[in-house]
Amino acid sequence: MIGIVASVTQRGSSVLSSFGAALGLDCPVEVVNLNELKAMEGLGVPFYAMDIGVGISVGIAGFSRQLISGVLGNMDFNALSIVGLSSMEELHGKIATKADALYVKSGVVKEADGDELVRAILDACSGDD
């Protein structure tokens, strides 16, 4: 089970993340943009989530994926990331190969062919571009 701190509240988020880690939980802080990432990095947060609990909804096609890709590209080398994927297209996309972990949403699992899903996950986990 993953506990996610889904509301960036400056110091409160880092405290909740640290508390979860002390209890042995994986507790990433969900960020939606570079400003939130930098604020949390400054507080020592090591594990981040994107598009899991807090969806990024912008009326421009592909913008949220570009935003997440930019955040992933600006993370500290030692930071860990988990990205939520809600379609097979996202699973096949570059963003899946940039994340350290993938949260494949239940709709994808229900709709996808099992073999195709496994192949896509293996491809995404085969390494960075």
DSSP letters spanning 97-122: HHSSEEEE-HHHHHHS-HHHHHHHHH
Per-residue pLDDT at 56? 57
CB-CB neighbours of 73 under 10 Å: 9
Extents of the domains making up the chain: 11-124
Please identify every stretch of the chain with a pLDDT value under 70, giving residue numbers as ranges: 1-11, 53-64, 127-129
Per-residue pLDDT at 60? 53
Q: Which of 65, 64, 68, 104 is nearest to 88 (CA)?
A: 104
pTM of the model: 0.70
Per-residue pLDDT at 59? 52
| Domain 11-124 CATH (choose: 3.30.1370.160, 3.20.20.70, 3.30.2010.10, 3.90.226.10) | 3.20.20.70
